[in-house]
Amino acid sequence: MHNLTVIFAHGRESGPWGTKIRALTKVAEKLGCRVISRDDSDNRDPELRVTRLIDEVKSIDGPVALVGSSMGGYVVTVASQVVRPAGLFLMAPAFGLPGYTEQTPQPISRELTVVHGWNDDIVPFEAVFHFARTHQARFHLVPAGHALLEQVEWLTEVFELFMKRCLQRESSTAKQRLLATL
């Protein structure tokens, strides 16, 4: 059993055990990881969610991987500056939207994967693409809406590859990441 803990952060309008999180949890558990899915449904303030996440991670022994969807993607990215996770897996992250303190959050992690939907009507793909390009993330732009529910099976495959990279001992660098896979 690995000592990697995977922490999920849901979006503003969803909850801790939605369709995507349940599917990705199965992948993480199959790989021997501990899973925590945070419930921030009582709070719509992204900055308070960041603080809560950082406080929770302080009590965890061993490395973590952070997974966020929409507002949760913003939250885990900002928190990564303190937490320094083994990996960040971002789904339709809420970048470039009004009301968020950090308009250009700087991710700190060994692995960085971003998935976004062509038909996302909430978060413009241009802001997410700019983020992915700036940080040389593995970037996937897929035929889906904001929730990415049309791509859950495919997401589990990409997430499994991400998790395997996180579990490897060798560190990757930004130069080793793919700029984009479209």
What's the average model confidence in pLDDT over 75-88?
97
What's the average model confidence in pLDDT over 88-93?
98
DSSP string, the chain: ----EEEEE--TTS-TT-HHHHHHHHHHHHTT-EEEE---TT---HHHHHHHHHHHHTT--S-EEEEEETHHHHHHHHHHHHH--SEEEEES---S-TT-S-SS-----SEEEEEEETT-SSS-HHHHHHHHHHTT-EEEEES--TT-GGGHHHHHHHHHHHHHHHHSSSPP-GGGS-S-B-
Q: Which domains does the chain have, with CATH numbers?
A: 5-176 (3.40.50.1820)
- Ranges 15-19, 103-107, 150-154, 164-168: which has the least confidence: 15-19
**pLDDT score at 19:** 92
pLDDT category, 81, cuts 50, 70, 90? very high
**pLDDT score at 175:** 43
What's the average model confidence in pLDDT over 165-174?
63
**pLDDT score at 1:** 44
**pLDDT score at 2:** 60
What's the average model confidence in pLDDT over 84-106?
94
- The yes-or-no verdict on residue 172 having pLDDT over 90 is no
**pTM of model > 0.75:** yes
